[in-house]
Amino acid sequence: MKRRLSIIAAIVVLSGTICTLTASAQLYKPMYFNIDWQFNAIVGNDYADTPTGWGMNFEGGYYVNSKLAVGLYASFHTANKHIGEELLQLNESSHLYTDQIHSVFQIPFGALLKYRFVEDTMFEPYVTAKIGTMFSRTSSTTQVWEFYEEKWGFNVQPEVGVTIYPSAAKRYGIHIAAYYNYSTNQSRILTYDINGINNVGFHLGFSF
Amino acid sequence: MKKVIPILLLAATFAACQKEPDLNELSSELIVYTNYDKSANFGKYTTYAIPDSILLLDDKAKPSYFAADDPRTTAIIQAINSEMKTRGYVRTNNAEADLGLQVSYVKDTNTIISYASTNPYWWYGYDYYWPGSYWNPYWGGWGPSYAYPITYTYTIGSLIVEIVALEDANATTKKIPVLWTAYMAGIQSSNQFNINKTVSGIYQAFEQSPYILSSVER
């Protein structure tokens, strides 16, 4: 029993030593996480093109070398827009007179590739390419009915940004980024067609 | 499986993050939906009949009505008569009328109404809803037929106005063609029947239905 405990203790000590040595050899922090507030506007389609800050962004990655990281991302965002009373011709024989609130709720998520230009300064500018899928829920709410469609599509999001580290230890930083986001989601609500969703926006949050 | 659970929880959390629409932004105007039989020739009819009362749809076993002297009935019937007159139709009695207008108010029930060629039932559970015998005492067991499929959930405080072609009632099939359906919702405000909104809704229903026009006005 004593021998077994000795072996376990030796393994623990050895593992700790190896980890310490590895950390000493690696001058950059291997992992990063961003949690951001997201301000977003749908462009190219006026269904719900009201810019809103009802969204968040989450991402995390691992640096495979000092400049290049791979990781995962996920975000969500809602855009709501009131449409005043109008007469909609639903088909050849039916009409609907109503006002509505248009909504587009988006959840893109997938994998990312991040490249930072410098790693040993207070400001770390970078570019990121995100590729994944997106769930969208497009709806029209009236006083009586809600018309909606839930769809999936391919998602791509190029992003440029900067992480600002106030301290040399770089444990915590401020994250600012601008992005363009496109997904192939298609919806038809009442008389409105959405063929792909284009977004522009920015992230403001914390990095650690 | 254990790895999937956190992902599902994360997805559910994200889905719950949707910012719900602010319903206070919606106006207090009625929603007005209309549909009609595209093959109908409204120009060939010249007369119509309309009851003096309005059928109330509720969960009671026997039908009840807004009586003829009820101010709600008066306002609704006057608005419909005004529109029909403007479009060249003359009001007459059931026996002589080419068209019949049946008006119903959904009082305190949520009723799913469905009618389609593949699912041909109408007001299931509401056998007394404007039976054929109302228009003609010899039309017992007759029912309406629709040229357009309809499936709606009619909510409390909705008004339904329909035009049926009495002239074209078919003795063989025992069917009375329905030419036009208008559905207005949002009539109740704070559980009170809003007459002004209802009348505005009726005018809107006719305004978005310019095809309802007698040959006299063409």
pLDDT of B195 above 70: yes
Is B11 among the domain residues? no
What are the tens digits of pLDDT across the range A152-176? 999 999 999 999 998 877 789 999 9
Q: How confident is the model at residue A16 (pLDDT cuts 50, 70, 90)?
A: very low
Is A99 or B15 the better-scoring residue by pLDDT?
Answer: A99
Q: Tell me what pLDDT residue B50 has.
A: 95
Q: Tell me what pLDDT residue B182 has.
A: 94
pLDDT of A186 above 80: yes
Is B205 strand, coil or helix?
helix
Is B205 among the domain residues? yes
Is B4 among the domain residues? no
pLDDT of B124 above 70: no
Please report, to the nearest 10 degrees, the dihedral formed by the alpha carbons of residues B174, B83, B85, B137 taken in order.
20
- CATH number, domain containing residue B59: 3.30.160.670
Q: How confident is the model at residue B140 (pLDDT cuts 50, 70, 90)?
A: confident
Q: Tell me what pLDDT residue A82 has.
A: 95
Q: Tell me what pLDDT residue A24 has.
A: 43
* Through-space distance between the first and last CA atoms of chain B, rounded to whole angstroms: 70
**Nearest CB to B19 within list A80, A85, A100:** A80
Enumerate the residues of chain A whose CB falls inside 8 A of the CB of residue B14: 74, 76, 107
Of A5-9, B147-151, B180-184, the least confident:
A5-9
Report A:75-104 residues touching B (Cβ under 8 A): 76, 78, 80, 82, 84-85, 87, 92-101, 103
What share of chain B in percent tops pLDDT 70? 76
Structural domain boundaries enclosing B177: 24-217
What are the tens digits of pLDDT across the range B37-87? 999 999 999 999 999 999 887 766 667 888 889 999 999 999 999 999 999
pLDDT of B153 above 90: no
Min distance B140 CA to chain A CA atoms (Å): 30
Enumerate the residues of chain B whose CB falls inside 8 A of the CB of residue A52: 19
Residue contacts between A and B (CB atoms, under 8 Å) = 81
**Nearest CB to A96 within list B14, B26, B33:** B33
Q: Least CA distance to B155: which residue of chain A? A: A144
Min distance A55 CA to chain B CA atoms (Å): 8
B209 and A95 within 8 Å at the Cβ level: the answer is: yes
Min distance B160 CA to chain A CA atoms (Å): 14
What share of chain A in percent tops pLDDT 70? 87
Q: Tell me what pLDDT residue B38 has.
A: 93
Q: Tell me what pLDDT residue B120 has.
A: 42
Enumerate the residues of chain A whose CB falls inside 8 A of the CB of residue B15: 107
d(CA A143, CA B157): 12
Is B2 among the domain residues? no
Best-predicted range by mean pLDDT (B20-24, B89-93, B102-106, B138-142): B89-93
Please name the residue that has the structure tokens 């038809």. Answer: A188
pLDDT of A123 above 90: yes
What are the tens digits of pLDDT across the range A43-96? 999 999 999 999 999 999 999 999 999 999 999 999 999 999 999 998 889 999
pLDDT of A145 above 90: no
Contact B216, B42 (CB under 8 A): no
Q: Tell me what pLDDT residue B30 has.
A: 84
Is B12 among the domain residues? no
| ipTM over 0.90 threshold | no
Of B18-22, B149-153, B174-178, the least confident:
B149-153
A29-207: which CATH architecture? Beta Barrel (2.40)
Domain boundaries, chain A: 29-207
Is B25 strand, coil or helix?
helix
Please name the residue that has the structure tokens 């590895």. Answer: A22
Enumerate the residues of chain B whose CB falls inside 8 A of the CB of residue A99: 26-27, 29
Rounded to 5 degrees, φ, ψ at B74 are -55, -45
A85 and B148 within 8 Å at the Cβ level: the answer is: no
Give me the number of domains chain B comprises.
Answer: 1
Q: Once rounded to an integer, what is the mean pLDDT over residues B88-111?
A: 86
B23 and A144 within 8 Å at the Cβ level: the answer is: no
Q: Rounded to 5 degrees, what angle do the CA atoms B160, B36, B76 make?
A: 30
Q: Tell me what pLDDT residue A14 has.
A: 40
B186 and A143 within 8 Å at the Cβ level: the answer is: yes
A97 and B36 within 8 Å at the Cβ level: the answer is: no
Q: How confident is the model at residue A31 (pLDDT cuts 50, 70, 90)?
A: very high
